[in-house]
Amino acid sequence: KTIDSLGELRGKRVLVRADLNVPLDGTTITDDGRIRAALPTLTRLVEAGARVAVISHLGRPKGAPEEKYSLRPVVGRLGELLGQEVAFATDTVGSSAQETVAALGDGQVAVLENLRFNAGETAKTDEERLAFARELAALGDAFVSDGFGVVHRKQASVYELATLLPAAAGELVLREVDSLRKVTDEPERPFVVVLGGAKIADKLGVIDALLGRADRILIGGGMAYTFQKALGHEVGLSLLDESKIDVVREYMERAKANGVELVLPVDTVVAPEFSADAPATVVGVDGIPADQEGMDIGPETAKLFGEKIADAATVFWNGPMGVFEFPAFAEGTKAVAEKLGAASGYTVVGGGDSAAAVRNLGFDETLFSHISTGGGASLELIEGKDLPGISILEEDQK
Ligand code: 3PG
C-alpha cells in the first residue's frame, strides 16, 4: 500500500515512522544520510497539507530516557533540509507529544522523542508492544512506514502500529525494496558481493544465502580474519570469532562445490594498537605478527578486489574493508568504493557503515545505483528473510 491509498491528507495527522538513527559525536551529526533519505516522504506529506508527526528511534536505549540518545540534535538538521521549522516533543506519547501534535497546522512537522525511551517499543510480548502502539495510534489518523532501517524489527512502531491505523509504505521504503530486489531477483551476471565489517556473525546468514546465487564473494574487513584462521593462518591480535571457524570452513567447501568464487585478502595492513596514529605496516596474510592486529586490507588485495568488481553486472557491497574512520586505514575501503563507483553495472551499497564510509570519504552518491539506509534490514532482505515491517503493509489489515 502506498501513500496514495491514504486518500485526502489535508488536515490529517499522519504518523511517519522514519529511521533517524544517525551517527552522533556528542550532539553533532556525523552523517545525515538517513535524514536526507526521509525527505521525499516528508516533503510529499507537507505539500499535501498533512500534519506530520515523525517518530524514530536513535541508538539502543533500554526503554527509559537517556539524554545521549535524545532525538533533539536531529530536529534542527531536519528543519534546515525541509526548509521549515520543525517542532520537538520531549516525550513520545505523553503530554508533550499530545500538545505538540495538537498544535500542528496543515503542512507542519514535529519530531517526537526517541521511541525506545518507552519499554513497549521493543517489548518481547505482543501485548506490551500493542499497548504502546495504541498510545502511538491515538496521535494519528494515518500511518506511513518509512523507516527502512528497522523494517526487519518486529517492534511496536514498525509492526503493531500498522495494524491500528490506515497504513502505507513511504517513498524510501518503496525505493529501497525496489532497488534491493534488483539484486535478489535474478541479478544480471556476473553478480559480485563484497562483504566486510567487524562482525562475522552478522554476515553468516547472507553468505549462506548467496553461496547458491552469487558468482563471486569478496571478503574483507574484520570478518576476513576468521576465514584466514580457518585456512590455517595466524591472525595475531586481529578480530577473530573462534566459534565460527567450523561454519566458515563449511562455507568454503560449499563455495567450491557450487562454483562460487570466494575471494579472500592476500595482504593486510597491521598496526600494534587500535588507534589513528598507530604505525601501519603491510604484510602478507601469512605474516601477521603475534603482537599486531589487522586494520585494513592491503594494496594487493585492493587491486585484486578491484579486478573482481570491474566486470560485474551487479554488485552488492556491505561492510567497510578496514577501520576507515582512521585515514591511515581507509585505503582499502576507498579502493572498493572507487571500483564500485566506476563499475558500469548495477551497484548497491548496503548498510549503515558502508554508506557512511562512502559519504565520509567524499564520494559522489550518484556514482552508485543505490545507497541503502538499512544495515541489518538490507542484509535480511538479501538473505530472503521475511521482514515484518514490509509484510504487514502487504497484508490487508483493515
Ligand atoms: C540500524 O542502524 O541498522 C537501524 O537504525 C536499526 O537499528 P537497530 O539495529 O538498533 O534496531
Strands 267-271 and 293-297: antiparallel
User: What does the pLDDT average to over 207-222?
Assistant: 95
Q: Ligand 1 centre and the CA of 376: distance in Å?
A: 7
Angle ∠(353,359,363) on CA atoms, nearest 5 = 130
Q: Is the pLDDT of residue 228 over 50?
A: yes
Atom of ligand 1 nearest to the CA of 155: 11
Q: Ligand 1 centre and the CA of 341: distance in Å?
A: 26
Instruction: State if residue 33 touches ligand 1 by the CB under 6 angstroms criterion.
Output: no
Instruction: State if residue 116 touches ligand 1 by the CB under 6 angstroms criterion.
Output: no
Cell of 139: 496521535
Q: What is the pLDDT of residue 191?
A: 97
Q: Which residue has the cell 545525515?
A: 32
pLDDT band at 212 (very low <50, low <70, confident <90, very high): confident
User: ipTM of the predicted structure?
Assistant: 0.98
d(Cα 256, Cα 363) in Å, to the nearest integer? 35
Instruction: State if residue 375 touches ligand 1 by the CB under 6 angstroms criterion.
Output: yes
For 4-17, b/e burial (b = at least 16 CB within 10 A) is eebeebeebbbbbb
Residues 157-180: pLDDT tens digits? 999 999 999 999 999 999 999 999
Q: Residue with the nearest Cα to atom 11 of ligand 1?
A: 150
Q: What is the pLDDT of residue 396?
A: 55
Q: Is 384 helix (H, G, I), strand (E, B) or coil?
A: coil
Q: Where are the alpha helices (DSSP H) in 190-330?
A: 204-210, 224-230, 245-258, 299-310
d(Cα 223, Cα 219) in Å, to the nearest integer? 8
d(Cα 340, Cα 232) in Å, to the nearest integer? 31
The candidate with the shortest Cα–Cα distance to 301, out of 276, 345, 273, 266, is 266
Q: Is 333 helix (H, G, I), strand (E, B) or coil?
A: helix
CA 131 to chain CA mean position, Å: 28
Atom of ligand 1 nearest to the CA of 21: 5
Q: What is the pLDDT of residue 199?
A: 87
Q: What is the pLDDT of residue 398?
A: 46
Instruction: State if residue 23 touches ligand 1 by the CB under 6 angstroms criterion.
Output: no
Among left, alpha and beta (phi > 0; psi -120 to 50; other), residue 362 is left
DSSP code per residue over 66-114? -GGG-SHHHHHHHHHHHTS-EEEESSSSSHHHHHHHHTPPTT-EEEE--
Are the CB atoms for 195 and 217 separated by under 8 Å? yes
Residue 78, marked binder = no
Q: Is the pLDDT of residue 374 over 70?
A: yes
Residues 74-119: pLDDT tens digits? 999 999 999 999 999 999 999 999 999 999 999 999 999 999 999 9
d(Cα 292, Cα 271) in Å, to the nearest integer? 5
User: What does the pLDDT average to over 302-325?
Assistant: 96
Instruction: State if residue 121 touches ligand 1 by the CB under 6 angstroms criterion.
Output: no
Residue 21, marked binder = yes
Active site residue 199: yes
Q: Residue with the nearest Cα to atom 7 of ligand 1?
A: 150
Q: Residue 335: enclosing H or E segment and its boundaries?
A: helix 331-342
pLDDT band at 351 (very low <50, low <70, confident <90, very high): confident
Active site residue 303: no
d(Cα 305, Cα 307) in Å, to the nearest integer? 5
Q: Ligand 1 centre and the CA of 48: distance in Å?
A: 30
CA 305 to chain CA mean position, Å: 23
Look at 106 and 354; give whichever has higher pLDDT: 106
Catalytic-labelled residue, pool 33, 120, 197, 352: 352
Instruction: State if residue 62 touches ligand 1 by the CB under 6 angstroms criterion.
Output: no
Q: Is the pLDDT of residue 331 over 70?
A: yes
Instruction: State if residue 65 touches ligand 1 by the CB under 6 angstroms criterion.
Output: no
Q: Ligand 1 centre and the CA of 382: distance in Å?
A: 16
| Long-range own/partner contacts, residues 384-387 (CB < 8 A, 24 or more apart) | 384/184, 384/209, 385/152, 385/205, 387/151, 387/152
Q: Which pTM does this prediction carry? A: 0.92
Report, in angstroms and rounded to the nearest whole number, the Rg of the chain calculated over CA atoms.
22
Angle in degrees, 0-180, between the axes of helices 39-47 and 171-184, rounded to the nearest 10: 140
Q: Which residue has the cell 534546515?
A: 80
Cell of 58: 536513535
Q: What is the pLDDT of residue 202?
A: 87
Q: Is the pLDDT of residue 63 over 50?
A: yes
Residue 127, marked binder = no
Cell of 150: 528497522
168 forms beta bridges with 144
Q: Is the pLDDT of residue 397 over 60?
A: no
User: What does the pLDDT average to over 380-389?
Assistant: 94
Residues 119-161: pLDDT tens digits? 999 999 999 999 999 999 999 999 999 999 999 999 999 999 9
pLDDT band at 395 (very low <50, low <70, confident <90, very high): low
Are the CB atoms for 20 and 54 separated by under 8 Å? yes
